[in-house]
A and B are shown apart, each in its own frame.
Chain A
Amino acid sequence: MNTTAIEVKKTQPSGDEKSERLAYFEAPADIYEDSDGISVWLDTPGAAPEGVSVTYESGALSVEASVIPTVSRPQYLLQEYELGHYRRTFRIGIPVDVENITAELNDGELHVRLPKAHAAKARKIAVKS
Chain B
Amino acid sequence: MVTPDFPMMRGVDAWRSTPDFPLTRFFDSVFEDVRPLWAIGAAMQVPPVNLWEEGDNVMLECELPGVKAGDVDIEVSGDQLRLSVKRQERKTDEKNGRWLRRERSVGQFTRTIKLPYELDAEKVEAKLHNGVLTLTMPKAPHHRPHRVKLLK
Q: What's the Cα separation between A81 and B93 when bound, in Å?
A: 34
**Nearest CB of chain A from residue B88's CB, rounded to whole Å:** 11
Q: Is A5 an interface residue (CB 8 A)?
A: no
Question: A107 contacts B17, CB within 8 Å?
Answer: no
- Per-residue CB proximity of A102-119 to B under 8 Å, as 1/0? 000101110000000000
Q: Which of B53, B104, B134 contacts A29 (CB 8 A)?
A: B104
Q: Mark B108-152, 1 if CB is under 8 A from A, else 0.
A: 000000011000000000001011101000000000000000000
A92 close to B (CB within 8 Å): yes
The reply to whether B58 and A77 contact each other, CB–CB distance below 8 Å, is yes
Contact between chains at A34 and B92 (CB < 8 Å): yes
Q: A46 and B131 in contact (CB under 8 A), knowing A31-B30, A31-B100, A38-B30?
A: yes
**Interface residues in B17-75 (C-beta closer than 8 Å to A):** 17-20, 22, 25, 27-32, 48-54, 58-59, 61, 63-68
Interface residues on B, range: 35 or more
Q: State whether A32 touches B92 (Cβ < 8 A).
A: yes
Whether A90 pairs with B27 at a CB distance below 8 angstroms is yes
> Are B130 and A45 in touch, CB under 8 angstroms?
yes
- CB-defined contacts of B25 to chain A, threshold 8 Å: 89
Min CB distance, A51 to chain B, in Å?
10
Measured between beta carbons, the chain B residues less than 8 angstroms from A88 are 28
CA distance in complex: A87, B30 (Å): 16
A interface residue numbers (CB < 8 A to B): 23-26, 28-36, 38-39, 41, 43-48, 60, 70-71, 74-82, 84, 87-94, 105, 107-109
Can you name 20 extra interface pairs (CB under 8 A) apart from A44-B65, A74-B54? A24-B19, A24-B20, A25-B16, A28-B17, A28-B103, A31-B99, A31-B101, A32-B98, A34-B97, A41-B90, A43-B63, A43-B65, A43-B104, A43-B131, A78-B50, A87-B20, A91-B30, A93-B32, A94-B31, A108-B66
A-B contact pairs, 12 of them (CB 8 A): A24-B19, A26-B17, A29-B104, A33-B97, A34-B96, A36-B95, A41-B90, A45-B132, A77-B2, A107-B131, A108-B65, A109-B65
B-to-A contact residues, CB < 8 Å? 1-2, 4, 9, 12, 14-20, 22, 25, 27-32, 48-54, 58-59, 61, 63-68, 90, 92-104, 115-116, 128, 130-132, 134
